[in-house]
Structure 1
Amino acid sequence: MAKIAFILLCHKDPEGIIRQAERLTAAGDCMAIHFDARARPKDYQRIRAALDANPNVAFARRRVKCGWGEWSLVQATLNAVERVLEAFPDATHFYMLSGDCMAVKSAEYAHGFLDAQDCDFVESFDFFDSDWIKTGMKEERLIYRHPFNERSQKRLFYGWFNLQKRLGWTRDIPADLQMMIGSQWWCLRRRTIEAIMEFSRERRDVMRFFRTTWIPDETFFQTLVRHLVPEPEIRSRTLTFLMFSDYGMPVTFYNDHYDLLLSQDFLFARKISPEARRLKARLGDLYASKGVRFEISNEGRGLYKFLTGKGRQGRRFAPRFWETEASLGRERELLIVVCKKWHVAKRLAEHARRATNVPVVEYLFDEEATELPDLGGIQSTLEKRARHRRALMRMLFDYHKTDRLLICMDPANVDLMRDFCSDRATTRLLLVECTYSDDYLTGHAKRVGLAGEQTGAETLARLLPTIRYDLRHEGDMIRDANFANLHRIREWATPSENTVPLAAFLSIPEPAAEEIAAAEHLYAD
């Protein structure tokens, strides 16, 4: 059975560290603690006094002063790992933690999870080819030497960096290493840790290289695991649930996040707020519990992204400026059916095609699988279609040898509607307003990744009003845009009420429009 050795790096909150160590070791696991040498001596003494008698807790023999982005964080980890190897020969897995982490599953579940998979869990992406680094320095982290701390020695850090850059003082990356990058929150098997420690003793050249790289805690273990462990034995993911805001700051969890945290496919989470006492107490009790079943829905990141993106002026993004392309053609007419329920729009478009013989292209800007002819690659991805939308539409007009074309579009694409309506071609919009039951909204949430099959009723109850308002807001945005040729039909209106706007939109006689409006099952879910 798995026995976890926790590698705990911490620098504050001695009472919290003591409670965390007692909770985790009470389940039979063990721990090595590295308490930052910069921290207050009396805090360290408090921790030692409380935990020295615990046979499942050990302390790094040598403490180092840690700084963000420095090699010191890796050295502190290696010091704690060395102590674990010596003190706990029966430990099977080494799990990296911080003082802000807490278990979101029971020890029973965690041990069973690790027993079932003979592999290492570490985020490990190609340093150069992946987009793990979003902004700032990339290869400069490696090819230049960084002996100074960017936060506490900013002038020295950037002065030395600029000097190396100006004089061309670059260095080579060790030739036999493929540089990898990822989160520092890993869980590795004992044999992997032993291989890393042996490698670090034998390859002093590699150790010298990493000592002066910038933010080596995101590259050292990630690179060495890939170098030493066969690919099938690595899972490129962390078992610690963490999220970051738009500004690159870690998202903090509070008391009301308990159910969300338990439903994620992770064993731990960070950062737990120091003020979230009730959450900490509940999670602490959970780790020691037996027989708990966990329903994994794993919608946390999608849910956070969706909910935090609402409520701000501008609906998250400022108005976009689209590149100007050539006109679709003054003599052409583009008909756009706008509907959130795609199946409704597709039925309506098919009825319109039969009545008018106008070619129909369904959700080409929303659905990757929309059937399109080969247009030289411009149709290959949603991103290309949106970027070259006018060129794409011109090619579709030409392909179908027509001056009238009908497409379907999601109401979220107001920017595309504005662009087409500003063209010299005639653009008509038909907004199809539908009713949205709770069942439909729940299905919608699952389709777009905001919820999973196991998402609890309480979470859905909080989520559905936001989704409902968001759909209503999209319709309001379209109406507020004051499009010249906007027509509306409503699911709750009678066929005769929907006949006039349908006839105007399609430029067909009212009897033909009424036949479409009265079509059976048009709005059925």
Structure 2
Amino acid sequence: MAKIAFILLTHKDPEGIIAQAERLTSAGDFVSIHFDARASAEDYALIREALATNPSVTFARKRRKCGWGEWSLVEATLQAVRAALEAFPQATHFYMLSGDCMPVKTAEFAHHFLDASDADYIECFDFFTSDWIKTGFKEERLTYRHWFNERTQPRLFYTSFEWQKRLGLTRKVPDDLQMMIGSQWWCLRRRTIEAVLGFCAARRDVVRFFRTTWIPDETFFQTIVPHLVPEPEIRRRTLTFLMFTDYGMPVTFYNDHYDLLLAQDYLFARKISPDALELKDRLGALWAQRGVSFNVSNEGRSLFSFLTGRGREGRRFAPRFWEREASLGRERTLMLVVSKKWHVAKRLVEQVRHRTDLPTLDYIFNEAGGLPDLGGIERTLDKRNRHRRALLRMMFDYYQSNRLVLCLDPAAIDLMLDFAADKCATRVLEIECDFSDDYLIGHARRVGLAGEHTPPEVLARLLPTIRNDLAHESEQMRAAGFPAFHRIRQAASPEDNAAPLAAFLGIDLDLAHQIAATDYLFVD
């Protein structure tokens, strides 16, 4: 009977790791854990203490600071593999998992599946001729050296690449290796793992080569395994079900995906949403069950491709069907704080954030940053504006709230009208500010209408135009006929501003007065 040593790469959620390790070892298997050295020392201590009495759990001797796309991920894997080889001589298979993976079959099914075929399961496709890489660097991953992290050190990453490119500092792939690529989520037999480690010890040149390739976790094992193992003993597939979105991010599974996941021809699935507690409970309980039969239809990928690959329409080849049908939800309320003076709006929402339980966002359609990882949709302002409703729907879900406060520039009338046309309730609060000539001159310079050395006579002719433009933006909002339109004024007293602010936020008048009375609110 197969005995699996699960190689578990993790960096968060200590309680989830403990539960996963206890669940996997309860069926007679083993777990070797590498916990990212960048992560919390307290979390690691909690994991070690909770699992200290479990003889089927071991830990990598050295913890590495891991970064996406770096050699550190491969090194962390090798550390966990070495620990498993030493600790579990009974293990027949070594299976890569992450903390986001959950079983979609029973342990009984998994053991019978592995016993049925003496083979390794690993995606390994020709690096140069396959279409596994859809966008971005391809040959450049190998032919140039990559010392920096593309996500945390983008400037150094691309500067280094450009200088190597200019100077022609390319390198050759090791002559005796056919470069392969595929998913990092493999399942390998014990003798294959031993052969890979032996190869690493004997071929330091190959290890040095992969140390400076980009995203080596998709090429290292995928290249070495077919170099060492006969073709008939390799199944070029993963046993972990995963799919990718158009943004190159893994598809996330939720509570209503239980039946779909069980119907796939895989043993595990990733990524399971951290909020899908019901799904996690059901899949966790499934692993220990016996005598369960599975009707494998394996339609997951084709269904996903059908749903996300529908035709596009419109002048900008968008929106996709899911975007066109997207709604923030009838039960939700979106509150738009509109001000040309961004610092005033930010101060107001900062007070709202501190004094109420309302989640708030600054000028996310104008300024980069300020958002959590949402699968790539948040990375550029262009994507944010193009997928505006989808983005805000994600933010409602992220904050687990039916109310959300958002800052907008008065020029963004198209966004206001789009949100107002949604099924959600939309409220608009205009902050009417006073604009001195000095402020308008500074504004002109900030937006590129004037420079530091623009002659005074040119600025004098420009100022009336800018004032008219600001007045026009304000008039557009008033003419739009928003059903819930409120206004506070810099020239008004806190008492006068409290009533519209209370109506806009849905809070009591005293609290609104405290926010409106912020002494530095309108200071330039």
Q: TM-score, normalised by structure 1?
A: 0.60
Which residue type is aligned with residue 298 of structure 1?
N
1:33 aligns with 2:29: no
C-alpha distance in 1, partners of 2:247/2:171? 32
Decide whether the 8 Å contact of 2:69 with 2:149 is kept in 1.
yes
Residue aligning to 1:214: 214
Q: Say if 2:2 and 2:115, in contact at 8 Å, map to a contact too.
A: yes
**Is residue 228 from structure 1 mapped to residue 201 from structure 2 by the alignment?**
no
* Amino acid paired to 2:238: T
Residue 171 of structure 1 aligns with which residue? Answer: 171
How far apart are 1:246 and its partner, in Å?
1.3
Count of matched residue positions in the alignment of Structure 1 and Structure 2: 319
Aligned twin of 2:105: 105
Aligned residue in 2 for 1:337: none
How far 1:175 sits from its partner (Å)?
0.5
Cα deviation, 1:129-153, whole Å, max 9, x if unaligned, reads: 1011111111111111101111111
Q: Which residue of 1 aligns with 2:136?
A: 136
- Matched to 2:147, the amino acid is P
Cα deviations across residues 467-514 of structure 1 (Å, max 9, x unaligned)? xxxxxxxxxxxxxxxxxxxxxxxxxxxxxxxxxxxxxxxxxxxxxxxx
Native 8 Å contact 1:310 1:316 kept in 2: no
CA shift in 2, pair 1:316/1:188, >3 Å: farther
Cα drift, residue 304 of structure 1: 1.4
Q: Secondary structure at the match of 1:131?
A: coil
Q: Is the 8 A contact 1:309 1:316 kept in 2?
A: no
Contact 2:312/2:318, CA 8 A, preserved across alignment? no
Matched residue, 1:306: 306
Instruction: Give the corresponding residue for 2:21.
Output: 21
In the alignment, is the contact (CA less than 8 A) between 1:120 and 1:233 conserved in 2?
A: yes
Q: Flag structure 1 segments of 5+ consecutive residues without an equivalent.
A: 320-525
Pair 1:120-2:120 in alignment: yes
Change (3 A) 1:106 1:164: same
Q: Quick one: which amino acid aligns to residue 143 of structure 1?
A: T
Deviations 1:180-202 (A, max 9, x none): 00000000000000000000001
What is the CA deviation profile of residues 320-356 of structure 1, one whole-angstrom value per residue up to 9, with x for unaligned ones?
A: xxxxxxxxxxxxxxxxxxxxxxxxxxxxxxxxxxxxx
> Could you say which residue in structure 2 is the equivalent of 1:150?
150
Alpha-carbon shift at residue 45 of structure 1 (Å): 0.7
Is 1:73–1:217's contact at 8 Å kept on the other side of the alignment? yes
User: Distance between the aligned counterparts of 2:178 and 2:92, measured in 1?
Assistant: 27
Mapped pair 1:285 → 2:296? no
The aligned counterpart of 1:500 is none
Q: Which amino acid aligns with 2:36?
A: D
Which deviations, in whole Å up to 9, do the C-alpha atoms of 1:260-317 show, x marking residues without a partner? 0000000000000011111001001100000000000000011112223459755996
**TM-score (norm. length: structure 2):** 0.60
How far apart are the structure 2 equivalents of 1:49 and 1:313? 56
Local SS of the residue matching 2:194: helix
Distance 1:314 1:261 in 2: 34
| Alpha-carbon distance between aligned partners in 2 of 1:183 and 1:314, rounded to the nearest angstrom | 36
CA distance, structure 2, for counterparts of residue 289 and residue 215 of structure 1: 37
Distance 1:279-1:178 versus aligned 2 partners, 3 A rule: same
User: In the TM superposition, what whole-angstrom CA distance separates every residue of 1:79-127 from its partner, at most 9, and x where no partner exists?
Assistant: 0000000000010000000000000000000000000011000000000
Name the counterpart of 1:42. 42
Confirm or deny that 1:61 pairs with 2:64.
Answer: no
Counterparts of 2:315 and 2:91, CA distance in 1: 50
* CA–CA separation in structure 1 for the residues paired with 2:150 and 2:50: 35
Deviation string for 1:452-477 (max 9, x for gaps)? xxxxxxxxxxxxxxxxxxxxxxxxxx
2:224 is matched by which residue type in structure 1? L
Please tell me whether the aligned partners of residues 104 and 268 of structure 2 are also in contact (alpha carbons under 8 angstroms): yes
| Whole-Å separation in 1 of the counterparts to 2:160 and 2:146 | 8
Q: Which runs of 5+ in 2 are unaligned?
A: 320-524
Task: Answer whether contact 2:119 2:234 (CA < 8 A) is retained.
Answer: yes
- Partners in 1 of 2:147 and 2:84 — Cα distance? 29
Inter-CA distance 316–285: structure 2 relative to 1 (3 Å threshold): farther
Q: Which moved more, 1:148-157 or 1:55-64?
A: 148-157
* SS of the residue 2:293 aligns to: coil
Query: 3-state DSSP class of the match of 1:118?
Result: coil
Q: Rate the CA distance shift 1:311–1:144 in 2: closer, same or farther, 3 A.
A: closer
Where does residue 90 of structure 2 map in the other structure?
90
Does the Cα contact within 8 Å between 2:68 and 2:151 map onto a contact in 1? yes
Q: Which amino acid aligns with 1:58?
A: T
The change in CA–CA distance for 1:125 and 1:316 in structure 2 (over 3 A counts) is farther
Q: SS at 2:79's partner residue?
A: helix
Gap change, CA 1:54 and 1:156, over 3 Å in 2: same
DSSP 3-state at the match of 2:208: helix
> What letter is aligned with 1:109?
F
Q: CA deviation at 1:22?
A: 0.5
| Alpha-carbon distance in 2 for matches of 1:313, 1:259 | 32
- Conservation of the 8 A alpha-carbon contact between 1:60 and 1:80: yes
**Aligned with 1:32: secondary structure?**
strand
2:297 is aligned to: 297
1:237 offset after TM fit, Å? 0.4
Deviation at 1:179, TM superposition (A): 0.2
Q: What is the identity percentage for the equivalent residue pairs of Structure 1 and Structure 2?
A: 76
Between the aligned partners of 1:313 and 1:66, the Cα distance in structure 2 is 42
After the TM superposition, which residues 115-514 of structure 1 pair with which residues of structure 2 at under 5 Å, given as runs?
A: 115-309=115-309
Amino acid in structure 2 at the alignment position of 1:136 = G
Letter in 2 for 1:166: R
Instruction: Decide whether the 8 Å contact of 1:185 with 1:238 is kept in 2.
Output: yes
